[in-house]
Structure 1
């Protein structure tokens, strides 16, 4: 099997360290879309947070309701700046003795630095555990069949702009079922099942599962299709949670104070964040290459947004997630470089 690493194609890529594809990216995408494939995402950073006060401590520092985080449960969280801008995003996976946080490649050091700064006299011991655990993802409709004991993800609806106090249930807005697996953990998530396994056991786990391998290119195409944002791709230095669709999985809107909470509450109650996440279709006439992250999206002679993750999808063609100004109409004819781009209608919240 041919293995093409991300760094073989772009030595400067943030996703270096994992396979981009195994020789047939379109076939790999179809496998993830219709069955199940395994994606090596072991370039993700992992932090460990043991200590008896870890749940209440993470609850006070982040956007998520975690005070009652119980064993074999996962969720998502954000760390915000004092002005409410997204600084960190992580999945949290609790095994009963440790909360494991996995985040984007290269983001772990910043998250760990913040956690260490905020320890004070709290009984927690955060550490970098990237060398201990590797993230593998089983993606596709058949992923759940491999772990039938894992319950489907439970996602709370985002309340309306003028919701009453107490309307949001006092628990995490996203709840992911977790089980022990091969010396690590299996976590059910919206795109399938994530595995956090000992790095020394990674090859053995892949062999034991025996499912087709798919590269990160295929994973990113499925992620874009499902409009799942990614820190550093669909965010910039001034992104607030509502602009990048982080609110539903990672923000509890009625849990009290945390850094940046005032901005989150004000924007939600006004009901109109300055920007929004959108899925765009590119015509592919002027260029059949996906635009690079950060490329301006224009309407006439003015910039109205930027490209996040752009991919070539096996059915949809060239598509990209983009962050656009809120007032850009759904039927606007946009441009990305020389390509015409059209907004895919927003998903029905129901």
Structure 2
């Protein structure tokens, strides 16, 4: 993929990983957040990967492997799905839309070749064709307040609309719906031909639409508690830990890899880790980076005079941003057992940054169903 024409716009500053191929901002990330939130701006996500699956068996075939039902996906309908390993860990997260002839999968760019290769190996005798079309197609994003887009899209563009705003009928939400931070998350992605990007950048130059960088989008995403594969997922991630069952998992669907673990954790256990949002102390103007340790401060029962609280590692920051209203915020994955009221510290750049925890997946997240206790052997009622 060649360099994006959006990087030639005035004020463009190249981003840091995982967004190093697009603009982080165009001079004022805070203003860009407001533009984006108000539905007036577009975001260049041309570094995203795009995979197509063609053929008459495409939807039923994808349905057999994905965490969400895709076999009856109507043309233009949006879905989100995960591909899991045999132990239920997240291997890929895709945004899915079908055009009636092909099913389109959008994912973080670096993951596209691996998923395309794996899908191609799984074709067997089915009538499907898999192609990584990232060199020919690109993604631009917006937060439109209606069914439209803030700029006129080229012919043939497909729009994917994020289902994160509410728990889907066959999903499950650990976070309470009342007051959920994602209720107003009206995010959409448009898949366009890559040769249409210069015209879209030209629309920004002419004033037909405004532009926002990746930092603006990240700040709004974090504030909406919205997980992203490139930042929140590691080799141990279960979808439950990120509250991803609300938008990307169909609990009434079986027969996909990792389904047994998904059902077991929902019905019998609790997620071993959990996603939280952190309100960070901004007095030191330090913004943590991904991987910075989160530690809990636990007071000793009978501390000696001058003895400091015990520091225990409890997790790590996955993404952080400066929000135009909330100030410095972050998402972090921490141990399930960490109490909701425990004082937390983020160790970043050699400084302790105080962090107030907002539960997304609650520490006391209960099983989704009541399982009767079986009598112990040898004991009769």
Normalised TM-score (structure 2): 0.77
> Partner residue of 2:313?
303
Counterpart of 1:266 in 2: which secondary structure? helix
Counterpart of 2:115 in 1: which secondary structure? helix
Take 1:312 and 1:238, find their aligned partners in 2: how far apart are those partners? 28
- Residue 192 of structure 1 pairs with residue 187 of structure 2: yes
Greater mean deviation of Cα atoms: 238-247 or 27-36: 27-36
Deviations 1:34-71 (A, max 9, x none): 34211000100111111110000000011111111121
In our comparison, the structure showing a higher alpha carbon Rg is 2
| CA apart distance, 1:302 | 1.5
Contact 1:36-1:141 at 8 Å conserved across structures: no
| CA apart distance, 1:346 | 4.0
- Residue 339 of structure 1 pairs with residue 338 of structure 2: no
Take 1:110 and 1:50, find their aligned partners in 2: how far apart are those partners? 18
| CA apart distance, 1:28 | 0.5
Which residue of 13, 23, 30 corresponds with 2:27?
23
Counterpart of 2:263 in 1: which secondary structure? helix
| CA apart distance, 1:205 | 3.3
| CA apart distance, 1:33 | 2.5
| CA apart distance, 1:291 | 1.0
After superposition, the Cα gap between the structure-2 partners of 1:302 and 1:140, relative to the gap in structure 1 and judged at 3 Å, is farther
Divergent runs of 4+, >6 A: 149-152
Unaligned regions of 5+ residues in structure 2, if any? 1-9, 152-158, 175-183, 298-310, 363-381
After superposition, the Cα gap between the structure-2 partners of 1:120 and 1:35, relative to the gap in structure 1 and judged at 3 Å, is closer
- Residue 294 of structure 1 pairs with residue 306 of structure 2: no
- Residue 315 of structure 1 pairs with residue 325 of structure 2: yes
Counterpart of 1:134 in 2: which secondary structure? strand
- Residue 67 of structure 1 pairs with residue 71 of structure 2: yes
Normalised TM-score (structure 1): 0.84
Take 1:207 and 1:143, find their aligned partners in 2: how far apart are those partners? 23
> Partner residue of 2:155?
none
Take 2:11 and 2:146, find their aligned partners in 1: how far apart are those partners? 25
> Equivalences for 1:105-120 in 2 at 5 Å?
105-120=109-124
| CA apart distance, 1:295 | 1.1
| CA apart distance, 1:347 | 8.9
Counterpart of 1:219 in 2: which secondary structure? helix
Q: State how many pairs are aligned.
A: 315
| CA apart distance, 1:327 | 1.9
After superposition, the Cα gap between the structure-2 partners of 1:159 and 1:22, relative to the gap in structure 1 and judged at 3 Å, is closer
Take 2:281 and 2:209, find their aligned partners in 1: how far apart are those partners? 34
After superposition, the Cα gap between the structure-2 partners of 1:131 and 1:260, relative to the gap in structure 1 and judged at 3 Å, is same
Counterpart of 1:108 in 2: which secondary structure? helix
- Residue 93 of structure 1 pairs with residue 97 of structure 2: yes
Contact 1:26-1:218 at 8 Å conserved across structures: yes
User: RMSD of the alignment, in Å?
Assistant: 2.5
Contact 1:284-1:318 at 8 Å conserved across structures: yes
Which residue of 141, 154, 168 corresponds with 1:156?
168
> Partner residue of 1:3?
12
Take 1:39 and 1:143, find their aligned partners in 2: how far apart are those partners? 17
Take 1:302 and 1:151, find their aligned partners in 2: how far apart are those partners? 40
Take 2:56 and 2:35, find their aligned partners in 1: how far apart are those partners? 42
> Partner residue of 1:218?
216
Which residue of 120, 124, 131 corresponds with 1:127?
131
Contact 1:144-1:193 at 8 Å conserved across structures: no
Take 1:233 and 1:126, find their aligned partners in 2: how far apart are those partners? 26
Deviations 1:135-188 (A, max 9, x none): 0001254685759x9999575143589xxxxxxxxxxxxxxxxxxxxxxxxxxx
> Partner residue of 1:170?
none
Take 2:324 and 2:359, find their aligned partners in 1: how far apart are those partners? 20
